[in-house]
Amino acid sequence: MTQHKITLLPGDGIGPEVTASVVSIIECSGVDVEWEKFFVGAEALARSGDPLPGEVIESILRNKVALKGPVTTPIGTGFSSINVRLRKTLDLYANLRPVKSMPNIITRFENVDIIVVRENTEDLYSGLEHEVVPGVVESLKIITEKASTRIARFAFEYARTHGRKRVTAIHKANIMKLSDGLFLQCFRNVSKEYPSIVADDKIVDNLCMQMVTDPTQFDILLLENLYGDIVSDLAAGLVGGLGVVGGANIGESGAVFEAVHGSAPDIAGQNKANPLAMLKSAVLMLHHLGEMGPAQRIDDAIMKVLDSGPEHRTRDIGGRGTTADFTTAMCETLRKGTRTSD
Contacts with ligand NAI by CB under 6 A lie at 14, 18, 70-73, 83, 242-243, 258, 261-267, 273-274, 277, 316
159, 161, 162: which is closest to 221 by C-alpha?
159
**CB 300 → ligand NAI: shortest distance, Å?**
21
Report the distance separating Cα 127 and Cα 109, nearest Å: 37
Check 68, 93, 123, 125 and give the catalytic one.
Answer: 125
Catalytic annotation present for 172: yes
Residue nearest to ligand NAI (CB): 262
Does residue 200 have an active-site annotation? no
d(CA 169, CA 222): 5
Nearer to ligand NAI, 220 or 267 (CB): 267
Which residue number, 233 or 300, has a Cβ lying nearer to ligand NAI?
233
Look up 229 and say whether it is catalytic: yes
Catalytic residue, from 50, 113, 219, 229: name it: 229
Of 112, 71, 131, 69, the C-alpha closest to 256 is 69
Please give the Cα distance from 54 to 73 (Å, whole number).
Answer: 19
Catalytic option among 50, 233, 299, 300: 233
Q: In whole angstroms, how close is the CB of 326 to ligand NAI at the nearest point?
A: 10
Q: Point out the catalytic residue in the list 91, 200, 205, 307.
A: 205
**Nearer residue to ligand NAI within complex by CB, 248 or 334:** 248
**Least Å distance between CB 164 and ligand NAI?**
26
CB of 41 to ligand NAI, least distance (A): 8
Q: Please confirm, yes or no, whether 266 is among the known catalytic residues.
A: no
User: How far apart are alpha carbons 245 and 172 in whole angstroms?
Assistant: 27
Q: What are the C-alpha distances in Å from 36 to residues 40, 57, 233, 294?
A: 13, 12, 30, 21
36 and 6 Cβ atoms separated by less than 8 Å: yes
As measured in angstroms, the least distance from the Cβ of 317 to ligand NAI is 8
Active site residue 125: yes
Instruction: Report the catalytic residues.
Output: 125, 172, 205, 229, 233
